[in-house]
Structure 1
Amino acid sequence: MRIVIAGGHGKIALRLERLLAARGDNPVGLIRNPDHADDVAAAGAEPVLIDLESATVTELTEKVMGADAVVFAAGAGPGSGAARKNTVDRGAARLLADAASLAGVRRYIMVSAIGVDDGPAPDAEPVWAAYVEAKRAADDDLRSRSLETDWTILRPGRLTDASGSGKVRLSEKTGRAEVSRDNVAAVIVGLLDEPATIGKVLELVDGETPIGAAVAAVAE
């Protein structure tokens, strides 16, 4: 499969690219910084340069044409302000959905965040509140596209760089906890392989169930 990954140099994206390349898929990592191309190529993916904050939908459509699926794993990242939470975590996610639709790519995996439907706490720090609102808006937009998009929304808990255990808790509601980026990437691969997860919003934290079994369980 040809899988286009927005945020191709991110920590989850690089792990995902390695997993996909190792099993013979053709991952494509969308990056805005040309200095990241070597890292993406080393992960086994094709680096493609495009800035999702300034690209037109036509430009992005050209990049996703011929893909079997797209994965949104981009984010404004720590240290960015509220404005970039909106332009990346919300705006770029919507742009990818528009481009995928124009390119005829139905499968879309969204990497969101746990608990965003609840909105930010009343006393939340402003940038964090902007992040939560941007993620919620992006998820809502994707869910509104069911006639054109075979979406799955994955909401990991607090991300860690611990080695992946290969065991998780994956369900509509898991409760807040940590999850390794290794496990997130491996679950995304599982979701790509399981069409019965289309239309599901799933929370993910580290747990005791092997990833294959966890994906199979939510697909029932």
Structure 2
Amino acid sequence: MTGTAPGRPDLLRLAVIIGSVREGRFGPVVSEWFAQEARNHGAYDVDVIDLAEAEHELPVAFPEFDKPLPPAVKAVHSALSRRLEAADAFVVVTPEYNHSFPAPLKNTIDWFHAEWQAKPAGFVSYGGMAGGQRAVEHLRQVFAELHAVTVRDTLSFHMAWERFDESGRPRDEGSTAAAEGMLRQLEWWGSALREARAKSPYGSAV
């Protein structure tokens, strides 16, 4: 799903990744709200990537390095690779499972490498009392290993199912201001790193 005014070169391409694939998940509510906040911000062309969709399902067993991917896996990998490669910035929307983030999200991250490099990443977490913050702690370490830059500000929804109203909007009016703060940080890093990548491809530096 793409966002506002696709194709405008002045807009940053923001991929919002829904990290939970669990049945009955709350992630789409949080993700749809945040994606709309990003569109309203005005600097982004938003692409929502829902890992629960069959078109994004990648196997948990990695093939041998010297063997080609099976055709079905290659098709999924190539399609998702194109969307991640096109992004100038990422926002991962994640719950917290057992003090960390969901296994399907880690599996998807691990299938790619250069697609993440030299780009900023932000996080929106949700859950019970911890609000998914421990999942974000682990994701920061993972994205650092992938040569991505994680922005300081995050959004965290404690007892998330109680924090959103029937229309899918947070009951706390401060949530919009918090989203705007993170989006501004992503915009700065996204613009700076896009310019840097255009000047000197990051792969040549590592």
The TM-score with structure 1 as length reference comes to: 0.48
The aligned residue for residue 31 of structure 2 is 13
1:14-29 equivalence runs, <5 A: 14-22=32-40, 23=42, 25-29=44-48
Residue 31 of structure 2 aligns with an amino acid whose one-letter code is A
Q: How many Å separate the matches in 2 of 1:192 and 1:140?
A: 18
Are 2:88 and 1:31 equivalent residues in the alignment? no
Match status 1:141 vs 2:138: no
Q: Which has the higher strand share?
A: 1
Distance 1:149 1:62 in 2: 17
Quick check: 1:16–1:186 contact (8 Å CA) kept in 2? no
What is the one-letter code of the residue matched to 2:149? D
What residue number does 1:202 align with? none
Q: Which runs of 5+ in 2 are unaligned?
A: 1-11, 20-26, 61-72, 165-169, 193-206
Q: Percent identity?
A: 12
Match of 2:90 in 1: 70
Distance 1:138 1:103 in 2: 13
Instruction: Name the residue aligned to 2:56.
Output: 50
Distance of 1:132 and 1:53 partners within structure 2: 27
* Change in 2 beyond 3 A, CA 1:192/1:134: closer
Distance in 2 between residues matched to 1:100 and 1:184, nearest whole Å: 29
Deviation at 1:99, TM superposition (A): 3.1
Higher relative contact order (CA 8 A, sep 6+): 2
Residue 152 of structure 1 aligns with which residue? 151
Distance apart, 1:135 and its partner CA: 4.4
Q: Deviation of residue 107 (structure 1)?
A: 1.6
**1-structure distance, mates of 2:85, 2:77:** 10
Pick from 180, 184, 188: which aligns with 1:186?
180
C-alpha spacing 1:7/1:92, structure 2 compared with 1 (3 Å): farther
**1:15 Cα offset (Å):** 1.7
- Structure-2 change in CA distance of 1:186 and 1:24 (3 Å): closer
Aligned letter for 2:173? S
Which residue does 1:99 correspond to in 2? Answer: 112
1:87 equivalent in alignment to 2:100? no
Q: Does 1:165 find its partner at 2:165?
A: no
Partner amino acid, structure 1, of 2:13: R
Q: Give the superposed CA RMSD.
A: 4.4
Q: Is the 8 A contact 1:12 1:185 kept in 2?
A: no
In structure 1, how many angstroms separate the alpha carbons of the residues matched to 2:184 and 2:88? 15
For 1:12 and 1:187, locate their aligned partners in 2 and report how far apart those are by CA, in whole Å.
Answer: 17
8 Å contact kept, 2:143–2:149: no
Q: Secondary structure at the match of 2:151?
A: strand
- 1:185/1:52 CA distance change after superposition, 3 Å: farther
Structure 1: stretches of 5+ with no match in the other structure: 35-47, 115-126, 167-179, 199-220
CA distance in 2, matches of 1:93, 1:188: 24
Q: How far did residue 28 of structure 1 move?
A: 0.4
| Distance change in 2, residues 1:53/1:139 (3 Å) | farther
Contact persistence 1:69–1:106 (CA under 8 A): yes
